[in-house]
Structures are given as C-alpha cells and as structure tokens.
Amino acid sequence: MRVKVIADKCEGHNRCCALAPEIFDVDDYGTATAMNDGNVPLELEAKAKLAVENCPEYAIEYVKD
C-alpha cells in the first residue's frame, strides 16, 4: 500500500499524525506529509486506512502503482 497527502487540500487537522504517527509527519504550519515516500508496511495498513477515513479534508489518497 502507498498513500500520499495532497498538500493543497491538507489544512493541518493532525488527525493522520495522531492515528498513524509511524506514517505521517506535519511541519510547523501543520501541513502533513507521508514519510518513507508514502510506502506503508503491511502491519501498518490498518492505521493508514484509519488516517484516510478520518481526514476531514479528504486530503489523503491511496497511490496506485
């Protein structure tokens, strides 16, 4: 699984970081990025899905390779 944060949509709610700190980080202005190029290890897939489903801006997407 791979995910990415659409920077234009992200408004810094920090839900992704709270639910999946292993995957997401935020900068000083709250804008999130997916670490490790968005690659999600198998054991964290459920957490990544939670982040996607809780982002109030619909800013996190799955990347299809």
CB of 46 to ligand SF4, least distance (A): 16
Half-sphere exposure (CA, 13 Å, Cβ side) for 56? 5
Distinct helix (H) and strand (E) counts, the chain: 2, 4
Q: Can you tell me the distance from the alpha carbon of 23 to that of 48, in angstroms, rounded to the nearest whole number?
A: 7
Stretch 3-42: interaction string toward ligand SF4, x if CB under 6 A: --x----xxxxxxx---------x-----x----------
Residue 1 or 39 having the CB closest to other proteins: 1
Residue 40 or 55 having the CB closest to ligand SF4: 55
